[in-house]
Amino acid sequence: MSSMFHISDELLEKYAIIGPRYTSYPTAPMWHDIDRETHRAWLKANSNNEQAVSLYIHIPFCRDRCLYCGCNVTITRQQSASADYVPYLLSEIDALAESRHGNKTVKQLHFGGGTPNFLLDEEFQSIMAQLRERFDFADDTEIGIEIDPCSTRPQQIEFLAELGINRLSLGVQDLDEKVQNAVQRVQSAEITLEHLKTARKKGIKGINFDLIYGLPFQTVESFSKTVDRIIDMKPDRLAVYNFGYLPERMIHQRKIKPETLPSPKAKMTILLDSINRFCNAGYNYIGMDHFALPEDELSIAQENRTLHRNFMGYTPKSGVDLLGIGVTSISEFNGHFIQNAHKLKNYKQQISESNLSGSRGIELSDDDRMRKWTILKLICHFYLDFKEFYESFGVSFPDYFKAEIKQLDELIDDGLLIRDAASIRVIDHGKILVRNICMVFDAYLNREDKPRVKFSQTI
């Protein structure tokens, strides 16, 4: 096996720091509280914008708690929970449509969670019927869903395909039984493969597997076996996430004993080995945990420099407004970020009162917009062009970011990137350390009034 990526121990020690994942800029901890009137005013200001939209619907329910999870979930085995929740989603859909966003074309719809396949068939039907009635769906709209293979009901994938689902993300994490038991998520390779085959038989493309490295009892050898089995299954896309071990914030993670976790050295070896194995097997390294086959839309979007990154990770759908629906969901449009209420009880109350639930958000300044543009170019394409920046903002990149460019010298000396008179290009192992590079352009990290927040390690 050829080694495409390698990082020395010295650089590992130097760059293994805490930092944002940049699914937004400014990052969510830097936002502030807003009220529903502000939410409504920002929607109104965007109503004449003719951009297409991407819809995200958050389904928070899970039947069991997986110990690695860092998502906003509600643990329940009561099916009545979703029956009670869906009407609130329908009310919010109506409110967004009535804010003159319903006349916009939907390019993408994604059900995330939690466990979206917790919903009953008739609940999916009511949501989809409402969406199709209130929004204009394009003929090629991407409609995706995250599912838990262990709780997927018989014939559920077939039903979802008939409903219009054409993208599927399967939670896998690790195929090693010891690791699965340690994180309370036991899922055989056979179940995963069965769902993959069913989805393909029904014409679903862009199938993604989510893996996690850094879990308890993982070793370089055990995870390499998982990687080999995943390569044999050949999903279209892969996400290999760094386990965020934050027991001080997430009580359920305290059940994981730190001595069971792989050492930083082993963890980094697992990551690099996985990247090289997937790349040698024909996958493109999209960046920041993501891989895709050359014919997949993600690879094509990166090649065409139309790739985008938001709260769902990397997406080929750039140039669209994101409208979040449901508890804790996030919207992004026209220089605004808005997040719905974090707690289910509060979300329901706010929807009952005003049909909107925006609780936190931010209106981007001109400086925010320029830094957001810069970070997105680096994290999506490993490249930015000074001329393109000037055409977008009427400002010279080298002049505006004079101090930041000086900070790049050390990264250049460490072989992470190349800078010339016209551009910046991330190279070699700099692609793995792209979060560190983006942090140079993050104006909030060094502010004295920044909120206290614990990000995950960059590698």
d(CA 411, CA 418): 9
pLDDT digits (tens, 9 = 90+) for 201-242: 999 988 999 999 999 999 999 999 999 999 999 999 999 998
Per residue in 254-278, pLDDT (tens digit) is 999 999 999 988 998 999 999 999 9
* Res. 450 pLDDT band, cuts 50 70 90: low
The pair of three-digit structure tokens given for residue 262, joined into one six-digit string:
């792989």
* CATH topology identical between 7-26+365-448 and 28-330: no
Task: Give the 3-state secondary structure of residue 17.
Answer: coil
3-state secondary structure of 63: coil
Q: Is the pLDDT of residue 99 over 90?
A: no
Can you give the pLDDT at residue 214? 94
Q: The domain 28-330 is classified under which CATH number: 1.10.287.10, 3.20.20.70, 3.40.50.360, 3.90.1200.10?
A: 3.20.20.70
Q: Are 86 and 123 in contact (CB under 8 A)?
A: yes
Give residue-wise pLDDT tens across range 10-23.
Answer: 888 888 777 888 98
Strands (DSSP E) along 259-335, which ranges?
284-287, 290-292, 308-310, 313-315, 321-325, 330-333
Nearest to 118 by CA among 86, 158, 144: 86
Residue 240 pLDDT: 94
Domain borders along the chain are 7-26+365-448, 28-330
Options 2.60.40.1180, 1.10.1040.10, 3.30.310.10, 1.10.10.920; CATH of 7-26+365-448: 1.10.10.920
| pLDDT tens-digit readout, 353-362 | 999 999 999 9
Encoded tokens for 164 = 């219009």
- State pTM to two decimals: 0.93
Residue 281 to residue 274: CA distance in whole angstroms: 10
Which pLDDT band holds residue 411 (cuts at 50, 70, 90)? Answer: very high
Neighbour count for residue 73 (Cβ, 10 Å): 21
What pLDDT score was predicted for residue 4? 66
DSSP 90-126: HHHHHHHIIIIITTSEEEEEEEEES-GGGS-HHHHHH
pLDDT confidence of residue 276: 92
Q: Determine the pLDDT at residue 9.
A: 80
